[in-house]
Amino acid sequence: MYRLVCADIFACSTKQDHIAKLVNLPASQNPVMAGDVALPPLLIFNLQLPLYQATLFGPLDGEGVSIVLCFALPPGFDPAKLKLIPRVVNIEEWVRKGPLSPPEHKLLVTYNEKPILSRPQHAFYTGRRYLEVDLDLHKYTYLARRAITSYLHRLPYVIWEIAFVIQGNGPDELPEHLLAASRIYRFDFSNAKNLSHFAPVPKPAPGSQGKETPAESPPGANGLA
């Protein structure tokens, strides 16, 4: 349905919500009607990954990176004509080059391609021509965060994919629909540019997270190239 048009990874001293307000967004068409529903021309996912050591107790915020994926509806999009094909990542190559220990390999194979519900660690933000979905991995369970940080420094050896699917909760909602997908090649998180280099990154007030309608990106904001 949506096609990847740009992606970027930003280093952040604290997790940054609603990042679309701080970067330049690509040009897009007007909202597309699918029946009585208006589909936003841009769909933005902000995956917030922690880089600090996971602990059982303590704040769920700190140094991390934001993986920002921007998708757009293709020109002439017709919601009745969709066909998407899944792809597989290079697990065995990563095991050799990582390297990954036997327990790490088993854990990766066990959970590879398994769907994970985004709630309750998600938040939604809307602008004049986009919908942004923030997935806050800082709030994942201790064991999940520990596994994430143990793999991060070895990601330069892996080709990995992210797919976003609309879950079906009954026979009338099946088969499930894929919203968008992205493939990322051998990225080193230590090379991520700090978001503060492109635009001011004020910390939102407590309780401000959620749906809102912001102004357009500030002049001079960069990224998403």
For residue 192, pLDDT beyond 90: no
Task: Calculate what percentage of the chain has a pLDDT beyond 70.
Answer: 77
Classify residue 211: in a domain, yes or no.
no
Classify residue 225: in a domain, yes or no.
no
Q: Across all residues in the chain, what is the average pLDDT?
A: 77
Classify residue 204: in a domain, yes or no.
no
For residue 219, pLDDT beyond 60: no
Classify residue 74: in a domain, yes or no.
yes
Classify residue 191: in a domain, yes or no.
yes
pLDDT band at 202 (very low <50, low <70, confident <90, very high): low
Supply the pLDDT for residue 81: 38
Lowest mean pLDDT among 74-78, 115-119, 201-205: 201-205
For residue 82, pLDDT beyond 70: no
List the structure tokens of 162.
Answer: 């992210």
pLDDT in tens, 21-80: 988 888 887 887 755 667 788 999 999 999 998 888 888 999 999 999 999 987 766 554
For residue 100, pLDDT beyond 90: no
For residue 211, pLDDT beyond 50: no
The domain total for the chain is 1
Classify residue 217: in a domain, yes or no.
no
pLDDT in tens, 138-182: 988 898 888 888 878 887 888 888 888 777 667 866 787 777 888
Tell me which residue range forms the domain holding 30.
Answer: 3-197
Supply the pLDDT for residue 32: 73
DSSP-assigned letters across all residues of the chain: --EEEEEEEEEESS--S-GGGGSPPPP----EEETTEEEPSEEEEEEEEE-SPP-SSS-S--SEEEEEEEEEPPTT--TT----------HHHHHHHTT--HHHHHHHHHHTT-----TTSEEEEE-SSEEEEEEEGGGS-HHHHHHHHHHHTTGGG-EEEEEEEEPP-SGGG-S-EEEEEEEEES--GGGPEEGGGTS--PPPPTT--S----PPPPTT-----
Classify residue 214: in a domain, yes or no.
no
CA torsion 196→198→200→206, rounded to 10°? -70
Supply the pLDDT for residue 42: 92
Question: What is the pTM assigned to this prediction?
Answer: 0.61
Classify residue 31: in a domain, yes or no.
yes
